[in-house]
Amino acid sequence: MHVKPALGRGLGSLIPGVKSSYIERALPDIRQEVLQVEVAKIHPNPRQPRQRFSPGELEDLIASIKEHGILQPLIVTRDGEGYELVAGERRLRASRTLGLTHVPAIVREATEQQKLELALIENIQRQDLNAVEEAYAYKALIDEFQLTQEDVARRVGKNRSTVANILRLLDLPEEILQAVQEGRIMKSHARTLLAEEDPKKQDHLFRLMLSGHMTVREVEERTKPQGKGTPAKKVKDPNILAHEERLREILGTKVEIFEKRGHGKVSVHFYSREELFELLDKLSDL
């Protein structure tokens, strides 16, 4: 087995886009050797949060590995005569497709909680998980390891309000959750449907969304409490509505644009101080 030193680099440097402090919280010992591990001896991580893998993404990775090799080692733990994958599911799948016999890997000791945390962190920081997979992973940390929402948020580098909002999606019916997982509706659609408490009305709005006959904005209007004598609102310019929809997807919250004769304002909604600070961070990066 060929061994090469990792030169004392933190695991954060081995997984670009992941802050080292997040990784170190999950697996504190950051000095490890990179080994060449036999692909046939690696079996999947049963706690892998990500369940859906885009064929297009995998094809791009296969092409990259064919050209440059695997630049980022997988992370595995010993399991009897073989290894259990902790992080690097896509790299492993691509390697098998290419018929590689060995892959670079860091062999670690990790608890079940650490395995889930590290797999979750890697996927979240790369934005590989859909919202439902992310919610189920948070729920597993809370239910199985008795963590609070605050604990989970700290470990994955998120605000508590963000974790809470993602977890709320699990209150939706299974059919709607499946639609989010399959990309037929977006997270913003699902969050809007949460505002409708009547199951029959919620299902009706969901079907209209699937058919393309209702936007997030229109669902928000339908789910607002309507007082008696409320005057009908003026129909908004479809171009403005499209821009509102795009901003909702980017910022993950309700956005309204008010415009008249070339002047107006953009209203971005938040529901806690934590969400405000998170929005300010997002806006400063745009």
- 115 touches 86 (CB < 8 A): yes
Is residue 84 part of the annotated active site? The answer reads: no
Catalytic residue among 89, 117, 122, 134: 89
Closest CA to 225 of 197, 204, 244, 253: 197
DSSP code of residue 171:
G
Closest CA to 118 of 149, 87, 141, 89: 87
Q: Exposure pattern of 224-262 as b/e (b: 16+ CB <10 Å)?
A: eeeeeeeeeeeeeeeeebeebbebbeebbbbbbbeeeee
Tell me the two tokens of residue 62: 């296969």
56, containing H or E segment: helix 55-68
Residues sharing a CB contact under 8 Å with residue 28, sequence separation 6 or more, in sequence order: none
Annotated catalytic residues are 89
